[in-house]
Amino acid sequence: MADRQQTDPAPQWWSRPEGTTEEGRREAVPAPRPGTGGEDHVQDAAPAPEARASDVSAPDAPAQDVSASDVSAQDVPASDVSASDVSAQDVPASDEPASDEPAAVPMVRYDPWGAEPLQVVDRGRTPRGIRLWQVVALSLGTALLAGGIGGYLGVLAERQSSTRLELPQTAGAADRGRAPESVAGIAATALPGVVTLHVRGTKGSGTGTGFVLDQQGHILTNSHVVADSQEITVTFSTGESVTAELVGRDSGYDLAVVKVSGVRGLQPLSLGNSDNVEVGDPVVAIGAPFDLSNTVTAGIISATGRPVTAGGDKGDGSDISYVDALQTDAPINPGNSGGPLLDAKAHVVGINSAIRGADKEDPTRQGGSIGLGFAIPVNQGKRVAEEIIRTGRATHPVIGVTLDMDYAGDGARVGDKGEDGKPSVVAGGPGARAGIRAGDVITKVDGQRVRGGDELIIKIRAHRPGDPLTLTVLRGGRETTLKVVLGSANGS
């Protein structure tokens, strides 16, 4: 920028606030650099405290050349100097009398490099003392920390104190031995000889139970478990599984025998005597209800000699089972079929075969056990198993008559005619030799009452072929007693 003379009004960058003294001005304006000549002018200037711009006219003071390079407006804050503060007091006073010529007014040249800069470094607020809220926060945090530590130490002290809660427990290793006649003892003895059967057939697959009969690998189960089987898999209590083959079965007794090969360490179960079983005797059932292998349940003998029929799905009666069963309240469910019913000595006294549920018409009918289970007496199972192992089939004891199954009266009535119009009493058979006639009503077998044809068949099949029986017969309103020796017929 070109230099130009300064005239009234005075430049704002050279003005000062009202009421400032010469000393204040001197403090506000940095001293000239040494050797510039400006020092004498500043020192010789006489103070004029109340002088204003109107007291000295600008034309009377010669203009002083000031270049833009000598003065920068940014070196002096605009707020500190105003145009109204420029007055004659800036002109140094002289003791010489005034002359006609205007006196030269020395100008103070501002040297931005001659003193410390006017800028002030902002070093932030001056640190203050600790405030009340800080004291409160610190106190609260300290109290919380102290409370937490105190609570933790209190819990530790409570746990380690002599008044802590400790529930009593049997010390030392538990005695795992069980009495042989206990349920646990019976289960421990029998489980190694019980197996689970998984059967796959043309109509689907199913699960049943069986138990080992001998070291040759023969296993006894129910006929309905392996009926229509194409593949049979036997799983032992150890988890080992092998394939088994069907030896034979008899639907009339609902018994079957399968065999495994190449299995070592077989543990056959001991067979008891079902004729010695009494009502109230404790029993244990083992099976795989709903494919839950090695399930153990316990109960008692609820009744003996209970006539039970099962099957009959074919419609011709060839698949009906007639069982003079042992009744038990030990829980038996689907999958228990073929499993052992054991006495207190772990001897097999029955083969679990059937359960009784609620009536089909009953909306509350249950699909599982309601405490009415039935087992084939082991004496009958033993005889049938022996025949199947020996010949592949079993024989049935018979009296050689055809019964009227539609008879609704008390007892079993001999039919008027047999199948295909043949006589109801087989000529030369056991019944004919004993004197039984068509129309006779058999009311008792060995003194035990018979209420229907099913019960008569059950009572007869509870014996062996060749066994003698005493029959009570009602004929023409009169009872008579007949002796009969049971014959034999091939089973189905």
What amino acid positions are annotated as catalytic residues? Answer: 224, 254, 337
* Helix (H/G/I), strand (E/B), else coil: 90: helix
* Helix (H/G/I), strand (E/B), else coil: 157: helix
DSSP H stretches of helix in 175-241 = 183-190, 223-226
- Which residues, listed in sequence order, are joined to residue 209 by a DSSP beta bridge? 196
Which H, E and C letters describe 63-88, residue by residue? CCEECCCCCCHHHCCHHHCEHHHCCH
Could you give the CA distance from residue 394 to residue 490 in angstroms, rounded to a whole number? 6
- Which residues, listed in sequence order, are joined to residue 350 by a DSSP beta bridge? 341, 377
- Residue 34: DSSP 8-state: T
Could you give the CA distance from residue 294 to residue 187 in angstroms, rounded to a whole number? 9
Closest CA to 302 of 349, 357, 371: 371
Characterise 419 by phi-psi region: left (phi > 0), alpha (psi -120 to 50), beta (else): beta
Q: Which residues contact 169 (CB under 8 A, 6 or more apart)?
A: none
DSSP H stretches of helix in 410-481 = 430-434, 453-461
DSSP H stretches of helix in 199-275 = 223-226
Could you give the CA distance from residue 67 to residue 111 in angstroms, rounded to a whole number? 12
Task: Return the residue matching tokens 């087989």.
Answer: 426
Could you give the CA distance from residue 321 to residue 377 in angstroms, rounded to a whole number? 13
Q: What is 464-492 written as a DSSP string?
A: -TT-EEEEEEEETTEEEEEEEE-EEEE--
Could you give the CA distance from residue 454 to residue 321 in angstroms, rounded to a whole number? 10
Could you give the CA distance from residue 278 to residue 183 in angstroms, rounded to a whole number? 18
CB 255 within 8 A of CB 384: yes
Cα 72 to its chain centre, rounded Å, is: 85
CB 354 within 8 A of CB 373: yes
Could you give the CA distance from residue 269 to residue 247 in angstroms, rounded to a whole number? 19
- Residue 140: DSSP 8-state: H
